[in-house]
Amino acid sequence: MKVLAIGDLIGSAGIKKLKSEMPKIREQEKIDFVIVNGENSAEGMGITEKNLKDMLDAKVDVITMGNHTWAKKDIFKVIDCPQLIRPANYAKGVVGKGYNIYICHNKKIAVINLIGRVDMNVLSENPFLLAKEIVEKLQNDVDMIFIDFHAEATAEKIAMGYFLDGKVTAIFGTHTHVQTADEKILPKGTGYITDIGMTGPKYSVIGMDIAVSIKRFETTLPERYKMANRRMHAKCCYLSC
């Protein structure tokens, strides 16, 4: 079985690229199951009902989220969609689910979404403790476990990889929008990569307009981010297991 994980989908450019490339990738790579991080699909922040529909129409099996989960009120209309999961280590009682189990070719696939705590500015529970709890609960009932760890700090992601090595099928990082080159099989057999990058405008600053981004750094004055030119070529970043 081949599982495809696609990095942070950025706005309409990312969705357009996903819809145009998915059929080819599925056919060429013989993909069976697709996971997409969709927390930036609403022009950089959050997700809307239409974004969700577009991804499901593109035959995405699971949509994970991150620090922009609640950026659009639309999410409350679709939060109970079985294909949509949000970070499991948000506070207890928060709407939505942090993981789910899916059936593909008679195999049970668990997908878990976690958010980091280092430099994320999001109040969340300890992802290591919760990951251990969820994995122990699931490991005897499923055939595969995949984790989207949405985190800023490289060290936190790497530590999570070794923490769960041999207990899950694969851990892939999202959030930084820049693909790393450290994909590997860890000593006990878990597939790992620190970040799978973004699917969005190629000529941009992590998906945002270049001039606006530079101005923020040059002047240190607040400047509202905006998406990079949609007409720019988009790139698609993914990991196939």
Cα torsion 81, 82, 87, 90: sign: positive
Token pair belonging to 227: 């998406």
Give the separation between CA 15 and CA 90, rounded to whole angstroms. Answer: 26
Residues in a beta bridge with 241? none
Question: For the stretch 153-171, what's the b/e string if a residue is b when 16 or more beta carbons lie within 10 angstroms of its beta carbon?
Answer: beebbbebbebbbebbbbb
Strand order from edge to edge, sheet including 238-240: 62-64, 33-37, 3-6, 238-240
Give the separation between CA 156 and CA 118, rounded to whole angstroms. Answer: 7
Q: Is 177 a catalytic residue?
A: no
Active-site residue among 68, 150, 175, 177?
Answer: 68
- Catalytic positions, please? 68
